[in-house]
Amino acid sequence: MIRERSKVASLSRRTALIGAALGLALALEACGGGSGAPTRSSGAKPTGPFRWKLVSHESPGYSSVVCGEFGMCFIQSQSSRMPGVLPGPRFPSQTVGYRVSCGSPDNCVAVDSEGEAAIFDGKGWSGSTQALAIYSFSGACASSPNTGCVPTVSCPTRSWCVAALNDGNNAVWSNRQWNGQALIGASPFYTDETLKAPIGCWAAGSCYTSDGQFVYKLERSAWSQANVGVPFAGSSSNPTDYVQQIVCTSKPLCMLADNQGEVSIAGPHGSIAPQQQLYSSPPDPAGYVNSPAIACSGTDNCFALGADGSFHRWTGSKWITDKAKISSQIPGGASFDVALSCASASSCIAVLTPDSRASETISGQYVFSGSR
């Protein structure tokens, strides 16, 4: 009887932990993040601006929040705890970071800079990891890996994921196994393999990716150049413009965010809305602006968090910018590395990390819970 009560108590604690994460609606990269295809219904669609509350401020060097879809966020540090953020995977190798994508709240996949993958089943991470079949970086990523070397992962369903590598290859996860497949030929513009290769999928075998110069679409097991109508890197008008994140819903609806604060919107057959500049913030010496973070909930509830802390809502026909910036709660912050995840149309988590242009008085990582 005591043993049974212990099992019940343990199950209750696990349920409460996952419920807290879903209720607060999180999601990194970091990371990208990831770029799965949420299909959860959010009922009557709420309107109006979000209200944001600071729920955690972590000191620099101690933690990093990595987010996937469905409000699922994980913390890299096993010893640190944040409200609504779950412990991340333990990779056996010395990793510089990982990215996560979730096909459902109880099925997430994480891939790290060493080409290892771990699975989250709603209760915890798999004790063992699998190697990506075609992970073979050389050059800068082999000698001095950084977060740009981490593969981008997208899981549009519970049983199918794809991890995109910066050398033009990918690994497909199906039947709980990784298999290497050719993605697209390496672009001559990818002279630096540490440039992130974003990928977003709206169904198994249906994805968008970018090699820096062009956007490509996967259809019927073949890649072809996509008609998204956006000049990216390599064009005379935008020589430093790179796609940084691609997020797709099952509608399908895909958001492509670049490193100039711009977002393009595409369906399965190409562009469906003009590219729009969501915000402007001071560029670094190389002319780059930090990329916005995109998150979607359901089939068409999509949001963008700007590198200046601005928050934007997609109405289905245009972007609306909330008047109050999240960054107004961080005195001295002007430009941030950002992550965003939304569990529903009325519940999101925003992660802001001040970059090198911020005031010396602020540092670390700020996690906000948003609702409306």
pLDDT tens column, 308-326: 899 999 988 889 999 999 9
User: Per residue in 66-75, pLDDT tens?
Assistant: 899 999 999 8
What is the rounded average pLDDT of the residues 18-44? 44
> Residue 51: how many CB atoms within 10 A of its CB?
12
Could you tell me the two tokens for 19?
């419920």
138: amino acid identity, one letter: S
For residues 115 and 93, the answer to whether their CB atoms sit within 8 Å is no
Is pLDDT larger for residue 125 or for residue 145? 125
Confidence label for 140 from pLDDT (cuts 50, 70 and 90)? low
Return the pLDDT at 230.
57
Model confidence at 81: pLDDT above 80? no
Average pLDDT over the chain, rounded to an integer:
76
Ranking 31-45, 188-202, 327-341 by mean pLDDT, the lowest is 31-45
User: Per residue in 193-244, pLDDT tens?
Assistant: 545 678 999 999 899 988 766 788 888 777 788 888 555 544 445 555 678 8
Global pTM? 0.80
For residues 82 and 65, the answer to whether their CB atoms sit within 8 Å is yes
What is the rounded average pLDDT of the residues 95-99? 80
> Domains, the chain, ranges and CATH?
40-49+90-337 (2.130.10.10)
Residue with tokens 């393999």: 193
Confidence label for 10 from pLDDT (cuts 50, 70 and 90)? very low
Confidence label for 293 from pLDDT (cuts 50, 70 and 90)? very high
Q: Is 12 helix (H, G, I), strand (E, B) or coil?
A: helix
Q: Establish whether the linkage from the previous residue to 61 is cis, with ω within 30° of 0.
A: no
Burial of residue 202 (CB within 10 Å: 0-12, 13-18, 19+) is: buried
Return the pLDDT at 358.
57
Ranking 7-16, 56-65, 99-108, 165-174 by mean pLDDT, the lowest is 7-16
Is pLDDT larger for residue 89 or for residue 239? 89
Q: What secondary structure does DSSP assign to 202-265, as a single string?
A: EETTEEEEE-SS-EEEEETTEEEE-------TTSSS-TT--EEEEEEETTTEEEEEETTSEEEE
Model confidence at 32: pLDDT above 70? no
Return the pLDDT at 314.
93
Beta carbons within 8 Å of 371's beta carbon, 6+ residues apart: 50, 51, 346, 347, 348
**For the chain, percent helix, then strand, then coil, each to nearest 5?**
10, 40, 50
From 179, 166, 171, 162, select the one nearest 137 (Cα to Cα). 166
Confidence label for 332 from pLDDT (cuts 50, 70 and 90)? confident
Sheet of 262-267, strands arranged across: 243-249, 253-258, 262-267, 270-277
